[in-house]
C-alpha cells in the first residue's frame, strides 16, 4: 500500500499509454496542425537549386552526408556550439561528472571499500545519475526567515560564475569560448565573485551554521586570493601577456613549471583552499558546523551548488594546466586523417561514399584536446588525493599559512621570474 | 543614641537600565557578540547528546553538556530481573565494549553468591575482555577520525575492527552483544583451534594498527590541530575525577588492571601507557597505545591458559543472595574504571544496582577544557575525552 511505489498493474499501464496517445493526438489535431498550416500560409517556402523546400526534401538532405557536413561545420563555428558543447559547458560538465566518479572510486580503493557498485551494472557508473535524479525529485525547503530572492538566486549565481570561469579556459589552439586579451585578469575577477556569492547565500539563509560557514569561507577565500594572484605574476612576467591562449602557446618547448616550481606549488595550495577541498574544507566542516554555508540548501539547490563546485574544480585544474603544464602541447599521438577516404571514398558494402569536408576536427586540435584532458585529469587526481590523507586544518592555522608562508613564497617566485628575465635566460616568447 | 539619617541627596537610586532583567528567573544578559549554538542532538558532531555552546567570534566562552537523551533506566530494570536475566540488558549501554561492561557485574555477583571460578574461565574472560577493548577503541578511533575530517581514518578502523569481531563471533556466537560472561565463568568453552586463529588474527591486527601512525598520528596537520588544545593538567585530572585514558594522558599512572588486579591480571605482565602532555593529542594516542598493550596481554594469556578444564560452574536455578549484603567491584574498561555497586536481598533479584560509569566522569571535564578554545577544536576535544553518550545516560 505504499504511495511511493504503487503496485504495478499491466492493464493500468496500457490504459495510461492509450491515454497519453489520445491526448497527444488531440493536441496535435487541435493545436499543432492548425499552427503548421497557418505558418505555411504566411511563409513563402524557399526555392533552392530549382527545388521547392518541402519537409520531405529537408529530411532527405539530412540523410545525405555531403549536404549535412557543411551544416555541422557551420554549426561548429558558431558561439553556441562553443558555449554549449566543446570547450564550454558540455565538455566541462562531462569532465566534472568523471571527476566525481573517479573521486568516489579512488577514495574507496584508498579506504579499503568498494565505493558505488550496483547502479549501472559496471562499478556503479550510473551512480551520479541516480544521485541527480534523487536531488531533482526531493522537496526544496526554504527556511521561514530566509531572505528568499537572494536565497533562491545564490545557487544559480554560483553555477553561472563557475561557468564564466570555464568559458575563459583555452582547450586546444583556437578552441576557447571567450578569447579575452586580459584573460588572466578576467580569471581573477571571476574568482573574486565566489566569496560574494558565498556570503550572500550564507547571510540570506538567516541561520547560525550557514552564517559561521559563510564567514569562514569569506576569510579563507579572500586571504588566499592574494597569494593566488601573486603566484601567477611570475608567468605573466615571463610571457609578457595576459591572454591565456598566448600563455599556453608560449610553452611549446617547455612548461613554465620547470622554471617556476615555487609558483606552481603556491598556486596548487591556494587552489585547494579556493575550492574548499580537504584539508581546507573548513566552510563545510561537518563535525563542527554541520555543512557550513550549504546547510540550508536542499534538493536541486544543493545539486546546483555541487555542480558549480565541480565545474570550478575543473576550471582551476585546467587553469593550472594552461599556466604551468604547457596547456595543449604534447607529442603528436593522434594519427593523421587517412587521405584515401577523401580521394577514393569509404566502401560500405555495395556503396562507395565520397564525403567532402570529412575531417571535422584537425589533427592538431584532436591532439591538443587529448593532451589537455590527460593533464587536467592528472591535476584533478592530485587535487582529490589529499582527501584520503589529511584531516581538516583549523582557521587560525589556515590564515597563518596563507598570510605568512604562501605570500612569502609567492614573492620568492616573482623574484625568480625577474631574475630569469634580467639574466637574459628567458624573455617574452621563450628562451632567448 | 542618635543616628544620622542620610539626606536625600546622598541616597543613590539605581537608574533602570535597558539591560535590566527581572530577578529570580535566572535570566542572563545577552551580549550582542555572543551566539548560542545548540550542537546536537541532531548534529553530525555531537552523538546522542547536546552541547550548548556559547561562542564569541571563533572562541568558545562557555560549554554546557546536556546528556540524557538516551536514558534507559538500566539500574531500575535490574531490580526486576534475576541475576542471570540481568546479563543481556546490562551490556546494552556500550555494546561495542559489552564484555567489559558486564565484567564488574559478574565479579560482584560471584562474590555475593560465593562462587569459585575455574582457572581456564578466568583466562578466557581476560582474552575476551581485551579483544572487546580493542573493538571498542577501534570504533572510537573511527569516529575520532571523521570528527577531524579524516575520512580514511574512519574507514580503516571500521574495517580492521571486523577481524576481531569475527574472532568474537567464533568465541561467543554473536558479533557485538555477546552476553558471554556469566556468574561462575563464561557461557561456552572456546571452539577447537581457537588459539591458533586468535594468535594469527591478533598479530595481523597489531601490524595493521601500527600503520595508522603514518597516516594519522604522525600527520603534521593532525599534530598541529590537536597539540596544546584542551590541556588537562595532572591536578585537574585528579580533581575532576576523570578516569582511564584521559587520566593516563595527563600523567597519572593509574590502571585498575595493575592497581586492583581482578581475575588473572596479576599473573600477566602489563605495561601502562602514560603521557604527560594532557592535551587532545595525548588523549587520542593513549587508546591507540592501549590496543597494542591489549595485543600483548592476549598473547600472554593464550600462552598461560590451561589447555583444558571446565569454564563454568553449574549454578542452582534462581540463585539468591544474603539479606542486605553489598559489594562494589570495578574493572578497567575501554574508557576507564567502570564499577557496579550491587546490594542483594534474600531474593533472586538484586535489591539495588548502581553503575558508576567512566563516560560520565570524563564528560565532567568538558566545560573546563572547552572554555577559551576555538570552535574548530570542539569536536577533537570532545571526542578525545573517550566518552560514550549511551553509557553516560545508562
pLDDT digits (tens, 9 = 90+) for A125-159: 888 888 888 988 888 888 888 888 888 899 999 99
> To the nearest whole percent, how much of chain B has pLDDT over 90?
22
Cβ distance A111 to B152 less than 8 Å, yes or no, reads yes
Q: Which of A111, A212, A391 is opposite residue B155, by nearest beta carbon?
A: A111
Query: Which pLDDT score is estimated for B336?
Result: 87
Interface test with B, best of A104, A214, A288, A395 (most B CBs within 10 A): A288
Cβ distance B215 to A389 less than 8 Å, yes or no, reads yes
Alpha-carbon dihedral sign for residues A222, A223, A227, A233: positive
**Which DSSP string do the residues of A139-203 spell out, in sequence order?**
PP---TTS-HHHHHHHHHHHHHHHHHHHHT---BTTB-S---TTHHHHHHHHHHHHHHHHHHHHH
Interface test with A, best of B57, B221, B227, B281 (most A CBs within 10 A): B221
The residue of chain B with its CA nearest to that of A392 is: B149
Query: Which pLDDT score is estimated for B115?
Result: 87
How close, in Å, is residue B233 to chain A by CA atoms? 23
* Contact status, residue A197 vs residue A158, Cβ threshold 8 Å: yes
Alpha-carbon dihedral sign for residues A254, A260, A262, A268: negative
Q: Which of A281, A287, A397 is opposite residue B147, by nearest beta carbon?
A: A287
**Which DSSP string do the residues of A309-351 spell out, in sequence order?**
HHHHHHHHHHHHHHHHS-TT-----SPPPPTHHHHT-EEETTE
Cβ distance A112 to B377 less than 8 Å, yes or no, reads no
How close, in Å, is residue A106 to chain B by CA atoms? 12
Cβ distance B146 to A287 less than 8 Å, yes or no, reads yes
Interface test with A, best of B58, B148, B149, B280 (most A CBs within 10 A): B149
Q: Which among A174-183, A357-366, B10-19, B294-303 has the top mean pLDDT?
A: B294-303
pLDDT mean over B39-66: 83
* Contact status, residue B376 vs residue A219, Cβ threshold 8 Å: no
Distance between CA atoms of residues B2 and A424, nearest Å: 102
Query: Which pLDDT score is estimated for B15?
Result: 46
How close, in Å, is residue A374 to chain B by CA atoms? 27
Distance between CA atoms of residues B208 and B200, nearest Å: 12
Taking the CB of residue B282, how many other CB atoms lie within 10 A of it? 24
Q: What is the pLDDT of residues B178-237, one digit of tens each?
A: 888 988 889 888 888 888 999 999 999 999 999 898 888 998 888 988 888 888 888 888
Q: Reduced to 3 states, what is the DSSP secondary structure of residue B52?
A: strand
Q: Is residue A6 predicted with pLDDT exceeding 70?
A: no
Q: Which domain holds residue A299?
A: 142-431
Q: Is residue A48 predicted with pLDDT exceeding 80?
A: no
**Is A86 a domain residue?**
no
Those residues whose C-beta lies under 8 Å from the C-beta of residue A132, and which sit 6 or more positions away, are A303
Cβ distance B151 to A107 less than 8 Å, yes or no, reads yes
**Is A52 a domain residue?**
no
Q: Any chain B CB within 8 A of the CB of A351?
A: no
B contacts of A288 (beta carbons < 8 Å): 45, 375-376, 378-379
> Residue A142, by phi and psi: left (phi above 0), alpha (psi -120 to 50) or beta?
beta
> To the nearest whole percent, how much of chain A has pLDDT over 70?
94
Q: What is the pLDDT of residues B131-156, one digit of tens each?
A: 999 999 999 999 999 888 888 899 99
Query: Which pLDDT score is estimated for B2?
Result: 55
**Is A133 a domain residue?**
no
Crossing angle of the two packed helices A148-167 and A300-324, in degrees rounded to 10: 30
**Is A292 a domain residue?**
yes
Higher pLDDT, residue A347 or B249: B249
Interface A–B counts its CB contacts (< 8 A) at: 83
Q: Which of B35, B149, B151 is opposite residue A111, by nearest beta carbon?
A: B151
Grid cell for residue B264: 588473572
How close, in Å, is residue B212 to chain A by CA atoms? 11
How close, in Å, is residue A322 to chain B by CA atoms? 30
Please state the pTM of the whole predicted model. 0.81
Cβ distance B225 to A391 less than 8 Å, yes or no, reads yes
The residue of chain B with its CA nearest to that of A287 is: B45
Cβ distance B379 to A281 less than 8 Å, yes or no, reads no
Cβ distance B156 to A288 less than 8 Å, yes or no, reads no
Crossing angle of the two packed helices A208-239 and A407-422, in degrees rounded to 10: 10
Interface test with B, best of A287, A289, A387 (most B CBs within 10 A): A287
Cβ distance B37 to A208 less than 8 Å, yes or no, reads yes
- Residue B319 C-alpha from the chain's centroid: 30
Q: What is the pLDDT of residues A164-197, one digit of tens each?
A: 899 888 888 888 888 888 888 999 999 989 989 9
Cα–Cα nearest to A269, from A226, A308, A237, A236: A226
Domains of chain B: 74-357 (1.10.645.10)
Q: Is residue B9 predicted with pLDDT exceeding 90?
A: no
Distance between CA atoms of residues A395 and A292, nearest Å: 13
Distance between CA atoms of residues A154 and A318, nearest Å: 25
Q: Reduced to 3 states, what is the DSSP secondary structure of residue B67?
A: coil
> To the nearest whole percent, how much of chain B has pLDDT over 70?
92
Distance between CA atoms of residues A184 and A243, nearest Å: 6
How close, in Å, is residue B198 to chain A by CA atoms? 22
3-state DSSP helix/strand/coil % of chain B, to nearest 5: 45, 15, 40
Q: Which of B44, B155, B377 is opposite residue A290, by nearest beta carbon?
A: B44
Q: Which among A79-88, A139-148, B119-128 has the top mean pLDDT?
A: B119-128
* Residue numbers of A between 80 and 109 with CB closer than 8 Å to B: 107
Distance between CA atoms of residues A98 and A104, nearest Å: 10
Grid cell for residue B379: 569536536
Q: What is the pLDDT of residues B291-317, one digit of tens each?
A: 999 999 999 999 998 888 888 888 888
pLDDT mean over A239-264: 86
Distance between CA atoms of residues B350 and B344, nearest Å: 5
Q: Is residue B18 predicted with pLDDT exceeding 80?
A: no
Q: What is the pLDDT of residues A203-220, one digit of tens each?
A: 888 888 888 888 888 888
| Residue B157 confidence class, pLDDT cut points 50, 70, 90 | very high
**Is A83 a domain residue?**
no
Q: What is the pLDDT of residues B163-194, one digit of tens each?
A: 899 999 989 988 888 888 988 889 888 888 88
Q: In what order do the strands lie in the sheet with B59-66?
A: B34-39, B50-56, B59-66
CA atoms within 13 A on the CB side of A167: 19
Q: Calculate Rg over the CA atoms of chain A.
A: 27
Distance between CA atoms of residues A145 and B346, nearest Å: 63
How close, in Å, is residue B222 to chain A by CA atoms? 6
Cβ distance B221 to A111 less than 8 Å, yes or no, reads no
3-state DSSP helix/strand/coil % of chain A, to nearest 5: 65, 5, 30
Domain count, chain A: 1
**Is A333 a domain residue?**
yes
Query: Which pLDDT score is estimated for B19?
Result: 53
Beta bridge partners of A48: A51
Distance between CA atoms of residues A416 and A257, nearest Å: 12
| Residue A312 confidence class, pLDDT cut points 50, 70, 90 | very high
Q: Which of A112, A387, A395 is opposite residue B374, by nearest beta carbon?
A: A395
**Is A222 a domain residue?**
yes
**Is A126 a domain residue?**
no
> Residue A78, by phi and psi: left (phi above 0), alpha (psi -120 to 50) or beta?
beta
| Residue A426 confidence class, pLDDT cut points 50, 70, 90 | low
Q: Any chain B CB within 8 A of the CB of A387?
A: yes
pLDDT mean over A259-279: 89
Distance between CA atoms of residues A371 and A332, nearest Å: 9
Cβ distance B152 to A278 less than 8 Å, yes or no, reads no
Q: Any chain B CB within 8 A of the CB of A395?
A: yes
Distance between CA atoms of residues A256 and B75, nearest Å: 71
User: For A249-258, A270-279, A376-385, B80-89, which range has the lowest pLDDT when averaged over its residues?
Assistant: A249-258
Q: Any chain B CB within 8 A of the CB of A399?
A: no
How close, in Å, is residue B133 to chain A by CA atoms? 23
Query: Which pLDDT score is estimated for B16?
Result: 46
pLDDT mean over B75-104: 89
Interface test with A, best of B152, B218, B226 (most A CBs within 10 A): B152
The dihedrals phi and psi of A145, each to the nearest 5 degrees, come to -95, 10
Grid cell for residue B205: 591486527
Query: Which pLDDT score is estimated for A27?
Result: 94
Average pLDDT for chain A = 84
Query: Which pLDDT score is estimated for B140?
Result: 92
Cβ distance B155 to A281 less than 8 Å, yes or no, reads no
Q: Is residue A284 predicted with pLDDT exceeding 90?
A: no
Grid cell for residue A80: 553556441
Amino acid at each position: 500500500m505504499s504511495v511511493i511505489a504503487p503496485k504495478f498493474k499491466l492493464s493500468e499501464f496500457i490504459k495510461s499509454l492509450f491515454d497519453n496517445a489520445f491526448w497527444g493526438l488531440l493536441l496535435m489535431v487541435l493545436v499543432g496542425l492548425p499552427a503548421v498550416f497557418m505558418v505555411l500560409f504566411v511563409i513563402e517556402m524557399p526555392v533552392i537549386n530549382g527545388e521547392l523546400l518541402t519537409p520531405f526534401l529537408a529530411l532527405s538532405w539530412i540523410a545525405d552526408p555531403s549536404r549535412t557536413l557543411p551544416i555541422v561545420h557551420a554549426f561548429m563555428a558558431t558561439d553556441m556550439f562553443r558555449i554549449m558543447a566543446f570547450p564550454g559547458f558540455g565538455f566541462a560538465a562531462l569532465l566534472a561528472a568523471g571527476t566525481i566518479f573517479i573521486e568516489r572510486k579512488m577514495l574507496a580503493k584508498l579506504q579499503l571499500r568498494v565505493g558505488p557498485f550496483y547502479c549501472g551494472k559496471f562499478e556503479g557508473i550510473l551512480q551520479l545519475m541516480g544521485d541527480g535524479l534523487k536531488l531533482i525529485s526531493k522537496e526544496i525547503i526554504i527556511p521561514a526567515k530566509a531572505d528568499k530572492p537572494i536565497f533562491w538566486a545564490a545557487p544559480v549565481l554560483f553555477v553561472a560564475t563557475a561557468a564564466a570561469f570555464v568559458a575563459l579556459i583555452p582547450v586546444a589552439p583556437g578552441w576557447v569560448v571567450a578569447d579575452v586579451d586580459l584573460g588572466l585578469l578576467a580569471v581573477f575577477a571571476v574568482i573574486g565573485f565566489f566569496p560574494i556569492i558565498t556570503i550572500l547565500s550564507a547571510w540570506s539563509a538567516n541561520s547560525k551554521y550557514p552564517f559561521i560557514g559563510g564567514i569562514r569561507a569569506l576569510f579563507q577565500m579572500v586571504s588566499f586570493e592574494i597569494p593566488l594572484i601573486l603566484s601567477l605574476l611570475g608567468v605573466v612576467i615571463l610571457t609578457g601577456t595576459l591572454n591565456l591562449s598566448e600563455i599556453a602557446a608560449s610553452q611549446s618547448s617547455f612548461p613554465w613549471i620547470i622554471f617556476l616550481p615555487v609558483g606552481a606549488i603556491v598556486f596548487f595550495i591556494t587552489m585547494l583552499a579556493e575550492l574548499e577541498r580537504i584539508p581546507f574544507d573548513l566552510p563545510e566542516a561537518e563535525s563542527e558546523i554541520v555543512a557550513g554555508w550549504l546547510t540550508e540548501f536542499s534538493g536541486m539547490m544543493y545539486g546546483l551548488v555541487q555542480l558549480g563546485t565541480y565545474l570550478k574544480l575543473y576550471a582551476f585544474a585546467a587553469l593550472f594546466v594552461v599556466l604551468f603544464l604547457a596547456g595543449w602541447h604534447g607529442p603528436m599521438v593522434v594519427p593523421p586523417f587517412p587521405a584515401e577516404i577523401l580521394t577514393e571514398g569509404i566502401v560500405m558494402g555495395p556503396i562507395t561514399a565520397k564525403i567532402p569536408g570529412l575531417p571535422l576536427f584537425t589533427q592538431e586540435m584532436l591532439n591538443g584536446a587529448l593532451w589537455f584532458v590527460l593533464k587536467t585529469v592528472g591535476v584533478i587526481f592530485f587535487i582529490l588525493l589529499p582527501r584520503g590523507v589529511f584531516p581538516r586544518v583549523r582557521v587560525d592555522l589556515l590564515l597563518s599559512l596563507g598570510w605568512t608562508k604562501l605570500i612569502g613564497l609567492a614573492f620568492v617566485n616573482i623574484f625568480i621570474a625577474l631574475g630569469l628575465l634580467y639574466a637574459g635566460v628567458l624573455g617574452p616568447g621563450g628562451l632567448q | 543614641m542618635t543616628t544620622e539619617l542620610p539626606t536625600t541627596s546622598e541616597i543613590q537610586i539605581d537608574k533602570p537600565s535597558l539591560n535590566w532583567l527581572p530577578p529570580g528567573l535566572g535570566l542572563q544578559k545577552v551580549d550582542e557578540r555572543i551566539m548560542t549554538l545548540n550542537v546536537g542532538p541532531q548534529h553530525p558532531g555531537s552523538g546522542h547528546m547536546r552541547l550548548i555552546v556559547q561562542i564569541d567570534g571563533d572562541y568558545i566562552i562557555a560549554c554546557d553538556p546536556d546528556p540524557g537523551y538516551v536514558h534507559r533506566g538500566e539500574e531500575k530494570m535490574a531490580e526486576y530481573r534475576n541475576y542471570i536475566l540481568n546479563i543481556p540488558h546490562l551490556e546494552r549501554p556500550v555494546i561495542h565494549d559489552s564484555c567489559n561492561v558486564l565484567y564488574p557485574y559478574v565479579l560482584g555477583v560471584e562474590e555475593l553468591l560465593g562462587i569459585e571460578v575455574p582457572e581456564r574461565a578466568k583466562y578466557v574472560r581476560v582474552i575476551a575482555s581485551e579483544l572487546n577493548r580493542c573493538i571498542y577503541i577501534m570504533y572510537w578511533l573511527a569516529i575520532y577520525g571523521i570528527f577531524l575530517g579524516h575520512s580514511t581514518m574512519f574507514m580503516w578502523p571500521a574495517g580492521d575492527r571486523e577481524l576481531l569481531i569475527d574472532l568474537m563471533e567464533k568465541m561467543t556466537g554473536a558479533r557485538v552483544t555477546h552476553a558471554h560472561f556469566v556468574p561462575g565463568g563464561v557461557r561456552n568453552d572456546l571452539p577447537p583451534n581457537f588459539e591458533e586463529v586468535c594468535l594469527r588474527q591478533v598479530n595481523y591486527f597489531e601490524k595493521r594498527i601500527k600503520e595508522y601512525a603514518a597516516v594519522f598520528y604522525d600527520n603534521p596537520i593532525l599534530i598541529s590541530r590537536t597539540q596544546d588544545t584542551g590541556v588537562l593538567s595532572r591536578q585537574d585530572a585528579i580533581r575532576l575525577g576523570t578516569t582511564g585514558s584521559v587520566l593516563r594522558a595527563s600523567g597519572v599512572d593509574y590502571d585498575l588492571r595493575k592497581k586492583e588486579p581482578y581475575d588473572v591480571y596479576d599473573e600477566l605482565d602489563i605495561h601502562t601507557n602514560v603521557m604527560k602532555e594532557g592535551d587532545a593529542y595525548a588523549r587520542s594516542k593513549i587508546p591507540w597505545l592501549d590496543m597494542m598493550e591489549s595485543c600483548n596481554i592476549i598473547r600472554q594469556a593464550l600462552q598461560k591458559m590451561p589447555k583444558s578444564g571446565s569454564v563454568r560452574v553449574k549454578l542452582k536455578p534462581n540463585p539468591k543472595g544474603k539479606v542486605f549484603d553489598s559489594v562494589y567491584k570495578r574493572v578497567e574498561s575501554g574508557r576507564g574504571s567502570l564499577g557496579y555497586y550491587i546490594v542483594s536481598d534474600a531474593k533472586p533479584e538484586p535489591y539495588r544496582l548502581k553503575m558508576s560509569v567512566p563516560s560520565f566522569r570524563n564528560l565532567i571535564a568538558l566545560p573546563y577544557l572547552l572554555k577559551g578554545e576555538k570552535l574548530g577544536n570542539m569536536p577533537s576535544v570532545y571526542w578525545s575525552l573517550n566518552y560514550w553518550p549511551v553509557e553516560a545516560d545508562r
